[in-house]
Amino acid sequence: MADSMFSSSASAKDSASSEIGSERTLYPYVTGTSVLGMKYKDGVIMAADMGGSYGSTLRYKSVERIKPIGKHSLLGASGEISDFQEILRYLDELILYDNMWDDGNSLGPKEVHNYLTRVMYNRRNKFNPLWNSLVLGGIKNGQKYLGTVNMIGTHYEDSHVATGFGNHLARPILRAEWREDLTFEEAVKLLEKCLLVLLYRDRSAINKFQIAKITEEGATIFPPYALKTFWGFAAFQNPTKGAEGSW
């Protein structure tokens, strides 16, 4: 009888432990949209809006999705905000552990990007992915670096990258107009052109943006600002024109 009660109790405990152990992000709830990044003359520049969507509702309007990582890197994220916070905790531990060596060296953007690709691929293999697409840029010893990695570990380096809708709508503009010798002012103007296209076409984008840059002097994240918009285009005023007979 006692054995039976113990067995039953242990079984219930195991079941409860199993349920607790299976808590994870099964579906992204609060998400951010596109992040844009590109190299320019003096370093790397990134841009993202500050919206956080709860499903299809634009719930939060001051979400910072670009963060400095160590001395040489900037990280931008689209996707699930809570998973981005978890990634930042991983990176805090990584940078702290690296600093504890006190050997005069510090992790550069390439090392951080490689670390993130391993983390994302490892979590994907456990069927417990971090629901983010990341942009990692930086500069160390005069070498500019820019790369991206998504939730299943697919990663690459390029002179300009984008996540989310930006990968479809902004990168064609960047391919056509990006130059390696862009000044900071020209780079900002090009990013603003891309952000405006995303604002018009991506329902999750809002007109509150942050731009960040990283150079040999360090990282700078600028205060948020809005872009001037124009909604008088004929396509916006009569979106069903040419679609007679549809719904």
Q: What structural domains and CATH numbers belong to the chain?
A: 28-227 (3.60.20.10)
The reported pLDDT for the residue numbered 246 is 56
Distances in whole angstroms, Cα of residue 148 to Cα of each of 5, 36, 48, 212: 54, 10, 15, 16
Report the pLDDT value the prediction gives residue 241, as an integer from 0 to 100.
Answer: 77
pTM: 0.85
Question: Tokens for 10?
Answer: 């242990």
Give me the residues of the chain with pLDDT under 70, please.
Answer: 1-23, 244-247
Catalytic residue among 25, 33, 148, 215: 25
Is 25 one of the annotated active-site residues of the chain?
yes
CA–CA dist 41, 100 (Å, integer):
33
3-state secondary structure of 10: helix
CB-count exposure of residue 187 (10 Å: 0-12, 13-18, 19+): buried
pLDDT digits (tens, 9 = 90+) for 38-78: 999 999 999 999 999 999 899 999 999 999 999 999 999 99
